[in-house]
Amino acid sequence: MAPQNDRMGEATSVTHSVNIPPDKHVRVLDGQGWVGLVQVMGDETTIVNAARVSFGKFTTRMTERDEVLLKYLVDERHTSPFEHVVFTFIVHCPLFVRSQWQRHRTWSYNEISRRYTEVDLDFYEPRHIRGQSENNRQASVDVLAGATQADAMRMIAQANRASRDAYETLLQMGVCREQARGVLSQNLMTTFWATVDLGNLLHFLSLRDHAGAQWEIRQYAQALKTLVQPLVPTVAKISGW
């Protein structure tokens, strides 16, 4: 995955839709979702300075000795120095991915509200349908007959359209947005801001880019690595990204 730029030439724009990704972003889910980097505070020198403050030491650039210290901190899970590096992302994902993501309560979140706006309704339509694992309730397997694939994708697309149609009809009837939104499906795409320190981001990535994690959220975890790796390259290398 490579960071992309979809907003070249919009530098003079002051206000735009939140559903347009920022300059630094990675697209996922066959281009239907994305995660973007909004801002970052701190770098790898921040981590080593936080770790060495007990000794009254401070550095302005990384050395080999600092890299050894970073490896020690990662290996021994001394995470507090990493909490001084903070990232803010903006995420465009299906509701079911949002639900998994926001179980991580060490992040700070703010999300678009369908109580306030009905614009930019979009639904995720998977390009590949997985089968249910027979020995793991929460897992899927990459085996499903071609005919079943086509039928399942068609049903999902129909359900998405029916969901949108019901929502729009309710609004036309005068139903309030806060109730009408109840008919929108789990495939509805949502957008939220998410801020996290590097220590908790590393924990998130260890769980969400794991063989046991759902494929869709793994795509986002891998995108986060792509965005963060150039900013903390030593930590990324030590972590095996």
pLDDT per position as a tens digit, 40-50:
999 999 999 99
Confidence of residue 9 (pLDDT cuts 50, 70, 90): very low
**How, if at all, do strands 25-28 and 131-132 pair?**
unpaired
In sequence order, the 6+-apart residues with CB closer than 8 A to the CB of 189 are 19, 32, 33, 92, 93, 94, 95, 122, 123, 124
CA angle 181, 31, 232 (to 5 degrees): 105
Instruction: Indicate yes or no: pTM above 0.95.
Output: no
pLDDT at position 115: 85
AA letter at 145: A
Q: Are 83 and 47 in contact (CB under 8 A)?
A: no
Q: What tokens appear for 223 in the block?
A: 């995108």
Catalytic sites, residue numbers: 208
For 18-124+189-241, the fitting CATH number among 3.40.50.720, 3.30.1360.170, 3.40.50.970, 3.40.50.300 is 3.30.1360.170
- Where along the chain do its domains lie? 18-124+189-241, 126-187
AA letter at 57: K
User: Rounded to whole angstroms, how far apart are CA atoms 61 and 187?
Assistant: 46
Write the pLDDT tens digit of every residue in 60-112: 899 999 999 999 999 999 999 999 999 999 999 999 999 999 999 999 999 99
Q: Are 88 and 39 in contact (CB under 8 A)?
A: yes
**How, if at all, do strands 189-197 and 131-132 pair?**
unpaired
Q: What tokens appear for 202 in the block?
A: 């590393």
- Rounded to 5 degrees, what are φ and ψ at 197? -85, 165
User: Rounded to whole angstroms, how far apart are CA atoms 199 and 227?
Assistant: 16
What H or E segment, with its residue span, contains residue 93? strand 86-94
Running DSSP on this structure, what letter comes out for residue 164?
H
pLDDT at position 8: 45
- Sign of the dihedral defined by the CA atoms of residues 29, 113, 185, 104, in that order: positive
Running DSSP on this structure, what letter comes out for residue 134?
S
